[in-house]
Amino acid sequence: MENQDLIKLVTEKAQQWLTPAYDAETQAEVKRMLDNPDKTELIDSFYQDLEFGTGGLRGIMGAGTNRMNIYTVGAATQGLANYLNKNFAGKGQISVVVGHDCRNNSRKFAEISANIFSANGIKVYLFDDLRPTPEVSFAIRHLGCQSGINITASHNPREYNGYKAYWEDGAQVLAPHDKGIIEEVNKVRVPDIKFDGRKELIQIVGEDVDNVYLEKIHGISIDPEVIKRQKDLCIVYTPLHGAGRTLIPASLKKWGFENVHCVPEQMVKDGNFPTVVSPNPENAEALTLAIKLAKELDADIVMASDPDADRVGMACKDDKGEWVLINGNQTCLLFLYYIIKNRIALGKMKGNEFIVKTIVTTELIKRIADKNHIEMLDCYTGFKWIAREIRLREGKQQYIGGGEESYGFLAEDFVRDKDAVSACSLLAEICAWAKDQGKTLYDVLMEIYVEYGFSKETTVNVVKPGKSGADEIKAMMENFRANPPKEIGGSKVVCIKDYKSLKQFDAEGKATDMIMPEASNVLQYFTEDDSKISVRPSGTEPKIKFYIEVKGAMNCPKCIGNATKEAEGKIAAIRASLGI
């Protein structure tokens, strides 16, 4: 589309927002964009409609069809309400849970959504203040609701907000309901949105749900005795201004940890995230204040949760006493290693247990599962897929843990999304178990590498914002499929998995079918030297992600330096091959 054609299109769309259907504040913002000679902001705000995808909405806040505002949130809620009323037409009272995080406008969007649901005859359980995403998932099942939403943009920068939609099993919506909801949302026009709520259908919840949730989380502790012996374990925790502040310190206390120190500056609820560049526990910078406090206290562990408290980041001391970050793959590895090893040691295995990881998460987890005769399942990125595996096996097999490389872990089955509340509590138990043996978390990680082999993972995010970026990402994926690499980083490609066509190709190009619940725009390359490269456009952010995993051997814990150096050389060669 020519630039002038695009400007004409967005101008026409924007002018529709100058009608009485929109409030004065919104109209003023749109008029400002229309009057600006530089049309970049106007184009980005109106070139498309913010898409209600299978995970809900996520975008920059502001006026426009491609922005998070009361009208895009309102249309999403009206569409979801319409679908619920159709799908559960024979039921008596349909009910939903509405939660939110600490972000700017999150409470406003949550209250507007609660009003819309109630205006459509749906009972709403609205949390009294910010709460972790996993508690919203828990509350849907606990309160017997048919759906739920959480207003959050997870770990995105401060200008973002989002809208997560859940189904009656407490998981994010899957087929066929995802497509059905999207169809209903796409039909909604602003005059269709019922903004005037029915107060009698909105019930405020809070501590009553918190208490049950925390009690259930306490029940997943594997070795309470080791906590009693190490109750003075020195823990530093930060919620990064977000929802973790409401429950994570309380959960640690309930588990028996008596020496927990919260970073005071970051215990303040603030959607501007004033103490960090980005509220993402994956970034080292976000843990700066926590590590500073940990050094002052000579702490044993640093843990951080993102704004909606579903992801956990961590740092610990290495063999030289220096603080190092534990990445998402290592986090998942440590959790599942501990769960499997100690459930076996304490006689808690019944023989029907299974674990789940995503296809881009480290393959070392499979080695651990295979050696210990535990079934491991691979699924797509996103906890709705882990939740699906739990649901399919409910009542037949016991889920004992699952996670993904992006710092998400779920240790229990009564929540159906990643859970930093339980993850932080279990992490503290792992550290207590290690300290009980005179070890650190770092020592445990080194033991895993010696026993199961060394693995190093790197994620490269190529950010492509706006319409032009979306077009570039699409072209990159098309090029990978049209011209599949024969070798990557000097090693022959022996297997290609294309999750869009659900075909797997060997080195000779022979295709076999893959069994997955649906197609997904992901490519994976496996090389002769046991490297794995996954390519996936993000579904929620304007970027394409490259996940690189290389293998090596470690004969002793002190061999980590050489193993890392060799792995970094392989990663550099892979990046050069891919031009990233």
Task: Give the count of alpha carbons within 13 A of 70, CB side only.
Answer: 20
SS3 111: helix
133's CB contacts (< 8 A; 6+ apart) are 99, 101, 150, 152, 154, 164, 243, 308, 309, 310, 417, 418
Q: Which of 520, 523, 519, 515 is nearest to 493 (CA)?
A: 523
DSSP letter string, 296-358? HHT-SEEEEE-TTS-BEEEEEE-TTS-EEEE-HHHHHHHHHHHHHHHHHHTT---S-EEEEEE
118 is catalytic: no
Spatial distance between the Cα atoms of 254 and 422, rounded to a whole number of angstroms? 11
Dihedral over alpha carbons 53, 59, 65, 69 (to 10 degrees): 110
Q: Which two tokens stand for residue 449?
A: 């590498």
Q: Which of 155, 151, 186, 179 is nearest to 165 (CA)?
A: 151
Compute and round to an integer the Cα radius of gyration of the chain: 24
DSSP letter string, 528-553? TTS-EEEEEE-SSSSEEEEEEEEEE-
User: CB count, 10 Å around CB of 419?
Assistant: 32
Q: Which two tokens stand for residue 2?
A: 């020519």
Q: Which two tokens stand for residue 258?
A: 């008596």
SS3 6: helix
Contact of 6 with 46, CB cutoff 8 Å: no
Pairing relationship of beta strands 487-488 and 491-498 according to DSSP bridges? antiparallel
Q: Which two tokens stand for residue 310?
A: 């579903």
Q: In 239-279, which residue ranges form alpha helices assigned H by DSSP?
A: 244-255
Which of 95, 106, 118, 154 is labelled catalytic?
154
Where b means 16+ CB within 10 Å and e means fewer, 50-83 reads: bbbebbbbbbbbbbbbbbbbbbbbbbbbbbbbbb
Beta strands in 76-157 (DSSP E): 95-100, 123-127, 147-151
Contact of 93 with 65, CB cutoff 8 Å: no
User: CB count, 10 Å around CB of 320?
Assistant: 7
Spatial distance between the Cα atoms of 11 and 25, rounded to a whole number of angstroms? 18
Residues catalogued as catalytic: 154
